[in-house]
Amino acid sequence: MRRGTWMVAAGVLAAALLVGCGSSSSSSSSGGGSASNASSNKSPVVIGTSLSLSGDFSADGQAFQKGYQLWASDVNKAGGLLGHPVKLDVVSDASSPAQVVTNYQKLISSDHAKLVFGPFSTLLTVPASKVVNRYGYAFVEGAGGAPAAFGNGLHNIFDVSLPVIDNLVPFAKWVASLPASERPKTAAYATSDDPFTQPQIPLAQNIMSAAGIKTVYSKVFPAEVTDYAPIATAVASSKADAVVLGSVDVPTVSAFVHAFIQQHYSPKVFIATAGPDQGAAFLKAAGGAKNAEGIMYPNGWYPGYANAQSQKLVSEYVAKYGGTPADVNADVAEAYSVGQAIAQAVAATHSLDNPKIISYLHSGVTLNSVQGPVKFNAQGENGQAAAFVFQWQKGNQVQVLPVGASGSKPPLIPKPNWGS
Amino acid sequence: MSASSLAKAVVDGILTGGVYALMAAGLTLIFGVMDIINIAQGALIVLGAYMSYVLSVHLGIDLFVGLIITIPAFFVLGVAIEWAFMRRLREQDRTAMSILVTYAVAIIIEGLLSVIFGVDYLQLRASYVDSTFHILGFYLPYIYVFGFLLAIGLLGVLYWILYRTHFGRGVRGSLQNRTAAELIGVNVNRVRAVSVGIGVAVTAAGGMVFGATNAFNPSSGYDLISRLLSIVILAGLGSIAGALVAALFMVTLEDVVAVVWSPVWATLVYYASLIVVLSFRPGGLFGSAAVRAQ
Amino acid sequence: MRLRPPARALLVATAVAILGVFPLIFSSPTSTSIAVFTLIFMVAACAWNMFAGSSGYIALGHAVYFGCGAYTLTLLANHLGFAAGWGVFALVPVAGIVAGLIAVPTGLIALRARRHTFVVITIAFMFIFQLAAFNLGFTGGSSGLQPPTPLWSVDTYNLNFYYVTAVVLLATFVLTWLVRRSRFGLQLLSIRDDEERARGLGVRVARVKLSAFVLSAIPVGMVGGIYAYFLGQIFPQFAFDPLFDLSIALMAFIGGLGTLVGPLLGALVLESLQQYFTVQYGSSQAYLIIYGALFLVVVLLLPRGVIPSLEELISRARAEPPEQGPEEPGRTADTIEAVR
Amino acid sequence: MSALIEAEGVGKAFGGLQALTDCSLSVAEGSVSGLIGPNGSGKTTLFNLMTGYERASRGEIRLGGESITRATPERVFALGVGRTFQITRLFFRLTVLENMLVATQRHEGWLRSVLRVAGSAAERVRALELLEFVGLSGLAARPAGELSYGQRKLLELATLLVADPAVLLLDEPTAGVNPTLINQLTERIRELNRAGKTFLVVEHNMEFVMGLCHQVTVLHQGRTLLTGTPEQVRADPAVLDAYLGGADDDDL
């Protein structure tokens, strides 16, 4: 018995170490793989970030890591920051706020990161921003756009992405402006109880109600639901013409899609705040392009975005990680934009000095990013962020709103029936 | 609030409840026989979903047909887990230490799945996942109906094993009184290994239905544990029929509250009603008085 | 462990000294940050064990008191207009008291049940409070709440939190020690071994259990408040976190359930190593596998927890013949004081 | 001699099962009384009712004339009724001495009970004396789980004595105990009885009962069949019938 225990224990340990050796070599915490391309022989500049590589936010966390790495390798190819090659220092926070607090202190004080990038999700961004603020570092992030992250009196936080609260505004205005024959008469609103989605829905609902679109269902559901069927069925039985879904991830949207299909309910307009932006991952869960057809989502970016830098990012992504352009999700671009904003600030100030970078970012300059122009307001939100609405059309993400904007194609309305 | 959407919520609750009963059945069997709280149950369900995914996507085997492979594989896995880890815990500290061990097992499974499959969400696909039939004014998805029938079928088999076979007598003996079972010649070690094997095997089926009705990734299992645990306790330890009734009751209640009142309060009502019922029936709905007497 | 009083006093003095000087020696913010979280979990595991370890009631809902402490401190600090700084720490005891008050009704209901039913009821309470925090207006819902953020420098920020938490830890440890050697503590242990018989010997079990439950909720509420203040943000899912419940139970189990120092050791090892490993190796793909495997190995090699297993080894090394009771295998060498 | 503890017309049903129908019993102060009956006749159930572990469906239990029908076990013990269990119940992970200290009845405030060390010097001395009395003083520091079966029975008895109860209800004190220890046990009971303690003993060991008890009550199928001296009981044909015709289902 005792010997058995030792044997099992030893076996477990040996197996774990084997696996560990096998795959830790493939894991990389430095994105500066092509640092040698940089002509410079200056000391590398360490940029630290904490990402959720495991746990609840792991899907987005890992996409963010790719975005940061692509940026790092691009910037190194271009000679680095002020001639210093960039060395990314990625640590994992396992989706835990306590860990994220420790991680940024470690990145700055022990790893001597000169600059830091934000983590994934508002839930982790807020505690992280306070730590980083203590060090006087600029905290540029791409995925902490909920109102909770701003207005805390912090001067150092900058979100390169679209402020979450305005996400649905172009959509709501467009719906309101449709000719009466096409305009939905009724709308259903269902949203996850989450700081990311919650603020967006009422704003959209106000605009649409003002245009005479009757609200036939409006409910909040818990962030962690194990059975979406009754909620989705209730939405379906409301027979609303338009569905506005406040979702944070793929499983939520996919659950609604499947339930709607099962209920033979196909709204004329269907928009979900997050999930459909996840490219191929969304298609996999939703059950293919036919089911995705016509689904809309608001975002600042999509793989087909008509922007030279963005196109380059997509092709680099495909070259490095394989797949098709549709596999590139918006997290990658959000992360990449963070790097771009920092790089421009460094170039403009000719320094890696955080206070200078902060005041530069607050100076009202307009920066370029793969997501379009970036201009920070007093709170650090990107007031210039392009607010787009995209739609899945024939397996591709297509920019449809704002109507008439460069790159916009006509939206598919009404959304075709499932699978047709 | 129309009567039909209420009726639909009840039907949804019953169908989904069947799936939960299937996922909880393995837990209740292991819990009852071994006094082990299997925290890894959620991870095993997700593992089952991934196995069905591999079989259906890479080998083109139908989800239900694939169970012919996954259920025996999971049986072996269960026996191995029992032999390697659970058996080594001492009687006295077993319940407490089992939480530690199975938690570690859950972490390892999550880690392996992330390495192999990545963390993107998947959902099982088959022609019947999205198709429905029309009955009594509702659309019923085939997958839920098939899942429910599978649950009833497998629970029936479990019930038959427990109440109609020699082995089942041994299991029930070990449930009620370990020492006495040993005295009348039950090989308790073997009964335990086989029980865990069966418990895990059933979980493979639960995982398949879960994967066909939900999008999942390697860390999806954690949200399930507290729910399954509450079903098992509400049912009464080791009671298969109880697990079915408890799952149907709880999920239906939750679905009805979600439709009638609000989804955000539905889960709260779920847990509150759990507390109320258990306050009056501490042994669970189908628990024997033995639990109380201890 | 059964040490002689002088040896024990020396051990305690050394531990307190290490606690005092640790952040001065390992002064990097990484280590002090890990240390603050570790102390928070040490308090929680120690307090939890005072109830659960002594009475045998495995409560998996102490996150209720952690979260209530966190919300109490944050709400009071914001509504009473506390300036960020030392003043907010005055609310830490209040957070503990509120948590203790909430433990009275929840404990009354949960403690009517036993064993597994009790476990599940405590879990259910945890989810009820989490969902209430999501849905009630004054909690800020899913956007959470932010307590004032102290404007301390990088060098002192962690230190201030460290020492406040260390004081709470000392107080909690003294409390558990007092309880352990008291008549009340003996009654708790008798409930763990045989509740029915304890009643037959005049132990007012309902009162004893509830008192211990409430007592254990207070320090948990206090560190909940500290946690919210330290993080500067509180969200429902992190204030009322099922993983918190699992963690403190795991810490107590791995250190030795029901022992005086086991949970402290368990929390010290588990929380600090977990944070360290995650920050150090978390970006490796195999991180979870290795972490889980190491965990398994520890549990399999020390199947009763560190302290009891060590005691067993020591007593075996002293070459005492193993004495086995007819029905209870193994030496039951709890750290309970025997006759002096 | 007046009745110290008595049951009158007591009945108890578990679900549909009538464990006790009509049961009356009276234990005179200063006596050693026996309670016998075939398995399943309701002896242990009666004990449970008398000590507050179960609530009687009908009838009344009195201690010194006061009703204790609805009292809790804690209360019953505080009033001076101690009991042992059919299967010995001890605090197996506590030491023998600690087992003795649990029963100490001291009326003190909640805060004092938390802050004061368990067992004052006087209580420890008293506990050790009682352990001496049952011959276990050498094992005081051992975990109770290490004791032999007979030693456990003795310890269980000793733990009750700490609180100096007026009545002791013993449930099968000799079951599984070797003859030497039975003699020791008999001696101790006699000694305590001389010192004024009242006993009610459930027993299958007829030799033990007949040798020890002043009065014996026979239970059959949930009813009291008769009460009398050991000689009367032995001679009654109804008792023999009860035993011969007794069902062999489990004791309730």
Q: How far is B231 from chain A (nearest CA, A)?
A: 14
| pLDDT at residue A172 in the model | 92
Among the partner-chain residues A5, A54, A287, the one whose CB lies closest to the CB of B88 is A5
Residue C12: both structure tokens together:
């305690």
- pLDDT by residue (tens digit) across B184-201? 667 778 888 888 899 999
Amino acid letter, residue B253: L
Whether residues A312 and A273 fall in one domain:
no
Q: Is C172 on the interface with D (CB under 8 A)?
A: no
- pLDDT by residue (tens digit) across A331-383? 898 999 999 999 999 999 998 999 999 999 988 888 888 888 888 888 888 88
Whether residues A202 and A264 fall in one domain:
yes
Cross-chain Cβ contact A97/C300 below 8 Å? no
What's the Cα-to-Cα distance from B40 to each of B26, C287, C292, rounded to whole Å?
Answer: 11, 18, 12
Instruction: Kindly state the average pLDDT of the residues C76-88.
Output: 87
Whether residues A245 and A393 fall in one domain:
yes
pLDDT at residue A35 is higher than 50: no
| pLDDT at residue B71 in the model | 93
Whether residues A279 and A347 fall in one domain:
no
The domain boundary, picked from D140, D164, D188, lies at D164
Cross-chain Cβ contact B284/C117 below 8 Å? yes
Indicate the pTM of the whole model: 0.87
Does B touch A (3+ CB pairs < 8 Å)?
yes
pLDDT at residue A37 is higher than 50: no
| pLDDT at residue C339 in the model | 30
Whether residues A123 and A257 fall in one domain:
no
- Judge whether A369 lies within some domain: no
Instruction: Kindly state the average pLDDT of the residues B76-90.
Output: 86
| pLDDT at residue B175 in the model | 66
Whether residues D7 and D73 fall in one domain:
yes
pLDDT at residue C12 is higher than 80: yes
Instruction: Kindly state the average pLDDT of the residues B28-57.
Output: 88
The domain total for chain D is 2
- Judge whether A153 lies within some domain: yes
Long-range contacts of D105-113 (CB under 8 A, 24+ apart): D105/C202, D105/D77, D105/D78, D105/D163, D106/C183, D108/C183, D110/C184, D110/C207, D110/C211, D113/C182, D113/C183, D113/C184, D113/C187
What's the Cα-to-Cα distance from B66 to each of A251, B50, B147, C152, rounded to whole Å?
Answer: 24, 12, 14, 60
Confidence of residue A2 (pLDDT cuts 50, 70, 90): low
Of A61-75, B146-160, C177-191, D234-248, minimum mean pLDDT range: D234-248
Nearest residue to D200 via CA among D44, D20, D39 = D44
In contact, B221 and B45? CB cutoff 8 Å: yes
Domain harbouring D56, CATH code: 3.40.50.300
- Judge whether A58 lies within some domain: yes
- Judge whether C287 lies within some domain: no
- Judge whether D215 lies within some domain: yes
pLDDT at residue B291 is higher than 50: no
- Judge whether A106 lies within some domain: yes
Q: Which of 52-81 (C) contact D at CB < 8 A?
A: none
Identify the closest residue of chain C to B90 by CA–CA distance.
C303
| pLDDT at residue C332 in the model | 35
Q: What domain range is D151 assigned to?
A: 87-164
Distance of CA A329 to the CA centre of its chain: 8
The domain total for chain A is 2
- Judge whether C148 lies within some domain: yes
- Judge whether C33 lies within some domain: yes
Instruction: Kindly state the average pLDDT of the residues A33-54.
Output: 72
User: CA angle A339-A344-A345, nearest 5°?
Assistant: 100
Whether residues D72 and D170 fall in one domain:
yes
pLDDT at residue C217 is higher than 50: yes
Of A24-28, A126-130, A388-392, minimum mean pLDDT range: A24-28
| pLDDT at residue C75 in the model | 94
pLDDT at residue B289 is higher than 50: no
- Judge whether A414 lies within some domain: no
- Give residue A95's region: left, alpha or beta (phi > 0; psi -120 to 50): left
Whether residues A130 and A261 fall in one domain:
no
| Residues of chain A found within 8 Å of residue B144, distances taken between Cβ atoms | 229
| Residues of chain A found within 8 Å of residue B259, distances taken between Cβ atoms | 230, 233-234
Helix (H) or strand (E) holding C20: helix C5-25
Tell me the β-bridge partners of A282: none
Whether residues A17 and A159 fall in one domain:
yes
- Judge whether A92 lies within some domain: yes
Average pLDDT of adjacent 10-residue blocks, chain D of 252 residues: 79 78 85 83 84 85 84 85 84 86 72 75 83 82 83 85 85 81 84 87 82 84 81 78 55 40
| Residues of chain B found within 8 Å of residue A54, distances taken between Cβ atoms | 110-111, 114, 119, 219
User: CA angle D18-D20-D24, nearest 5°?
Assistant: 155
- pLDDT by residue (tens digit) across C14-34? 999 998 998 888 888 889 999
Whether residues D4 and D107 fall in one domain:
no
Chains near B (3 or more Cβ pairs under 8 Å): A, C
Q: In angstroms, rounded to a whole number, what is the distance separating the alpha carbons of residues C15 and D251?
A: 55
Question: If you search the block for the tokens 């047909």, which residue do you land on?
Answer: B65
Nearest residue to A389 via CA among A283, A290, A300, A257 = A300
The domain total for chain B is 1
More confident residue, C134 or B92: C134
Whether residues A90 and A154 fall in one domain:
yes
Of A149-163, A199-213, B265-279, C159-173, minimum mean pLDDT range: A149-163
Q: Where are the alpha helices (DSSP H) in A83-160?
A: 97-105, 122-134
| pLDDT at residue C228 in the model | 95
| pLDDT at residue C318 in the model | 66
- Judge whether A378 lies within some domain: no
| pLDDT at residue A420 in the model | 66
Q: What domain range is A268 assigned to?
A: 166-299+388-401
Q: What domain range is B126 assigned to?
A: 3-293
| Residues of chain B found within 8 Å of residue C312, distances taken between Cβ atoms | none
Nearest residue to B94 via CA among A14, C110, C317, C330 = C330
Q: Which of 67-86 (B) contact C at CB < 8 A?
A: 85
Instruction: Kindly state the average pLDDT of the residues B246-260.
Output: 88
Q: Is B217 on the interface with A (CB under 8 A)?
A: yes
Domain harbouring B77, CATH code: 1.10.3470
Does D touch A (3+ CB pairs < 8 Å)?
no
- Judge whether D192 lies within some domain: no
Identify the closest residue of chain C to B264 by CA–CA distance.
C135
| pLDDT at residue D35 in the model | 86
Whether residues D172 and D251 fall in one domain:
yes
Whether residues A211 and A274 fall in one domain:
yes
| pLDDT at residue C158 in the model | 92
The domain total for chain C is 1
Whether residues A82 and A133 fall in one domain:
yes
Q: Is A15 on the interface with C (CB under 8 A)?
A: yes
Q: Mutate which of C50, C179, C199, C201 to test chain D, going by most D C-beta atoms within 10 A?
A: C201
Identify the closest residue of chain A to C26 by CA–CA distance.
A110
Cross-chain Cβ contact B283/C117 below 8 Å? yes
Instruction: Kindly state the average pLDDT of the residues A190-217.
Output: 89
Q: How far is C33 from chain B (nearest CA, A)?
A: 25
Q: Mutate which of C296, C302, C309, C331 to test chain B, going by most B C-beta atoms within 10 A?
A: C296
- pLDDT by residue (tens digit) across A301-324? 878 887 888 888 899 999 998 888
| Residues of chain C found within 8 Å of residue A101, distances taken between Cβ atoms | 33, 37, 230-231
In contact, B236 and B291? CB cutoff 8 Å: yes
pLDDT at residue A253 is higher than 80: yes
Q: In angstroms, rounded to a whole number, what is the distance separating the alpha carbons of residues A25 and A22?
A: 6
| Residues of chain C found within 8 Å of residue B175, distances taken between Cβ atoms | none
- Give residue A399's region: left, alpha or beta (phi > 0; psi -120 to 50): beta
User: CA angle D217-D221-D224, nearest 5°?
Assistant: 30
